[in-house]
Amino acid sequence: MMRVAVIGAKGQLGSDIVARLGAQAIPLGHSDIDISDAASVASALDRERPSAVINCAAYNFVDKAESERDAAMLTNRRGPGLLADYCREHDLKLVHVGTDYVYDGRTGKIPWTEQDDPLPISTYALSKYAGEQLVLTHCPRHFVVRTCGLYGRNAMHGKGNFVETMLRLGRERPELRVVGDQRCTPTSTANLASAILDLVKTEEYGLYHATNSGSCSWFEFASEIMRMASLRATVSSITTAEYGARARRPSFSVLDCSKLERVLGWKMPTWQEALGRYLTERNH
- Which C-beta is closer to ligand NAP: that of 59 or that of 219? 59
- Which C-beta is closer to ligand NAP: that of 11 or that of 118? 11
Check binding of 212 to ligand NAP (CB under 6 A): no
Amino acid symbol at 57: A
Check binding of 8 to ligand NAP (CB under 6 A): yes
H-run or E-run covering 216: strand 216-217
Catalytic residue among 86, 124, 151, 278: 124
Q: Terminus-to-terminus CA distance in the chain, angstroms?
A: 32
Among the listed residues 4, 5, 6, 13, the single contact to ligand NAP using CB under 6 A = 13
Binding mask 161-190 for ligand NAP (x = CB under 6 A): ----------------------------x-
Q: Strand 183-184 relative to strand 216-217: parallel, antiparallel, unpaired?
A: antiparallel
Provide the sign of the torsion angle of the four alpha carbons 260, 262, 263, 264, taken in this order.
positive
Among the listed residues 10, 138, 183, 249, the single contact to ligand NAP using CB under 6 A = 10
* 97: exposed, middle or buried (Cβ count in 10 Å: 0-12, 13-18, 19+): buried
* Closest distance to ligand NAP from the beta carbon of 30 (Å): 4
In the annotation, is 129 catalytic?
Answer: no
Check binding of 11 to ligand NAP (CB under 6 A): yes
Distance CA 253, CA 251 (A): 7
Check binding of 120 to ligand NAP (CB under 6 A): no
Check binding of 57 to ligand NAP (CB under 6 A): yes
C-beta separation of 196 from 95 below 8 A: yes
Check binding of 59 to ligand NAP (CB under 6 A): yes
* 214: exposed, middle or buried (Cβ count in 10 Å: 0-12, 13-18, 19+): middle
Distance CA 79, CA 63 (A): 20
**In 10 A of CB 197, how many CB atoms?**
18
The residue at minimum Cβ distance from ligand NAP is: 11
Among the listed residues 150, 184, 225, 255, the single contact to ligand NAP using CB under 6 A = 150
- Which C-beta is closer to ligand NAP: that of 12 or that of 133? 12
Check binding of 80 to ligand NAP (CB under 6 A): no
H-run or E-run covering 147: strand 142-147
Active site residues: 124
Which residues of the shown chain bind ligand NAP in the complex (CB under 6 A)?
7-8, 10-14, 30, 33-36, 56-60, 75, 79, 97, 99, 128, 147-150, 189
